[in-house]
Structure 1
Amino acid sequence: MTQLSDVLAGGDDPAAPVGVVRVLARHGFGTVEPGQLLAARGTLMGEVVTAGDLLRGALDAPAVELARSALAAPATQEAHVAEDDAVAAGLACAGGATLLAHPLEADPAGALGRAFAGGVPAALVSTVDGQRTLVVVGNDLDEAHGGLGSPELDEAAAAHVRGLLRRGATATDRTELAGVEVLVDLWVPVPSLLVVGAGALGEALAAQAAVLGWGSRAVATVAETTAAVEAFTDADVLVLLDHDPAFDESLIAGLRHGRGFLGALGSRRTQAARRERLLAAGITEEQLAAIHGPVGLDLGARTPAETAVSVVAEVLAVRSGRDPGALSAGRGQIGA
Structure 2
Amino acid sequence: MSDLSEVADVLARGDEARAVVRVLDRHGFGTVEPGQLLVAGADGTLGGVLLRGALDDRAAALVRDARRAPSVIEAHVAEDDAVAAGLACAGGATLLGHPLDAAPARALAQAFAAGVPAALVTRADGSASLAITGGDLDDVEGSLGFATVDAEAASRVRHLLRRGATVTERVTLEAGADVLVDLWVPVPTMVIVGPGAIADALIAQAALLGWVAGRADTVAEADAAVAAFTDADVLVLLDHDPAFDAVLRTGLEGRGFLGALGSRRTQAARRERLLAAGVTEERLARIHGPVGLDLGARTPAETAVSIVGEVLAVRSGRDPSALGVAAGPIGA
TM-score interval for Structure 1 and Structure 2 normalised by the shorter chain? 0.5 to 0.7
Shift of 1:198: 7.8
1:117–1:241 CA distance, 2 compared to 1 (3 A): farther
For the 8 Å contact 2:121–2:182, the answer to whether it is kept is: yes
For the 8 Å contact 2:297–2:306, the answer to whether it is kept is: no
Q: How does 1:1-336 map to 2 (within 5 A)?
A: 3-10=6-13, 14-43=14-43, 48-177=44-173, 178-192=175-189, 203=200, 206=203, 209=206, 212=210, 214-215=212-213, 219=238, 220-221=261-262, 242-243=297-298, 257=314, 259=316, 283=322, 285-287=324-326
- Whole-Å separation in 1 of the counterparts to 2:87 and 2:50: 11
Shift of 1:215: 3.6
Shift of 1:243: 2.5
1:103–1:200 CA distance, 2 compared to 1 (3 A): same
For the 8 Å contact 2:19–2:100, the answer to whether it is kept is: yes
Shift of 1:259: 2.2
* CA RMSD across the alignment: 4.3
Shift of 1:25: 0.5
- Whole-Å separation in 1 of the counterparts to 2:305 and 2:84: 50
- Whole-Å separation in 2 of the counterparts to 1:203 and 1:249: 14
- Whole-Å separation in 2 of the counterparts to 1:76 and 1:93: 23
1:60-119 deviation per Cα after TM superposition (whole angstroms, max 9, x unaligned): 211010000000000001111111111111111111100000000111111111211221
For the 8 Å contact 1:135–1:144, the answer to whether it is kept is: yes
For the 8 Å contact 2:202–2:304, the answer to whether it is kept is: no
Stretches of structure 1 that go unaligned for 5 or more consecutive residues are: 263-277, 292-317, 319-336
Shift of 1:193: 5.4
- Whole-Å separation in 1 of the counterparts to 2:313 and 2:324: 13
- Whole-Å separation in 2 of the counterparts to 1:252 and 1:90: 36
SS of corresponding position for 1:149: coil
- Name the aligned partner's letter for residue 58 of structure 2: P
1:265-318 deviation per Cα after TM superposition (whole angstroms, max 9, x unaligned): xxxxxxxxxxxxx9xxx7451549999xxxxxxxxxxxxxxxxxxxxxxxxxx9
Shift of 1:242: 3.8
1:246–1:30 CA distance, 2 compared to 1 (3 A): closer
- Whole-Å separation in 2 of the counterparts to 1:204 and 1:86: 39
- Whole-Å separation in 1 of the counterparts to 2:144 and 2:130: 6
- Name the aligned partner's letter for residue 181 of structure 1: D
Shift of 1:206: 2.0
Provide the residue aligned with 2:270 in structure 1.
Answer: none
- Whole-Å separation in 2 of the counterparts to 1:251 and 1:290: 22
- Whole-Å separation in 2 of the counterparts to 1:213 and 1:88: 28
1:84–1:203 CA distance, 2 compared to 1 (3 A): farther
- Whole-Å separation in 2 of the counterparts to 1:241 and 1:288: 23
- Whole-Å separation in 2 of the counterparts to 1:107 and 1:192: 29
- Aligned pairs, number: 260
For the 8 Å contact 1:21–1:63, the answer to whether it is kept is: yes
1:260–1:191 CA distance, 2 compared to 1 (3 A): farther
For the 8 Å contact 1:222–1:247, the answer to whether it is kept is: no
Stretches of structure 2 that go unaligned for 5 or more consecutive residues are: 215-234, 239-260, 268-284
- Whole-Å separation in 2 of the counterparts to 1:103 and 1:141: 22
- Name the aligned partner's letter for residue 106 of structure 1: A
Provide the residue aligned with 1:296 in structure 2.
Answer: none
For the 8 Å contact 1:74–1:102, the answer to whether it is kept is: yes
1:117-175 deviation per Cα after TM superposition (whole angstroms, max 9, x unaligned): 22111100011111010111111111111100111110111111111112211111111
- Could you state the TM-score of these two structures normalised by the residue count of structure 1? 0.64
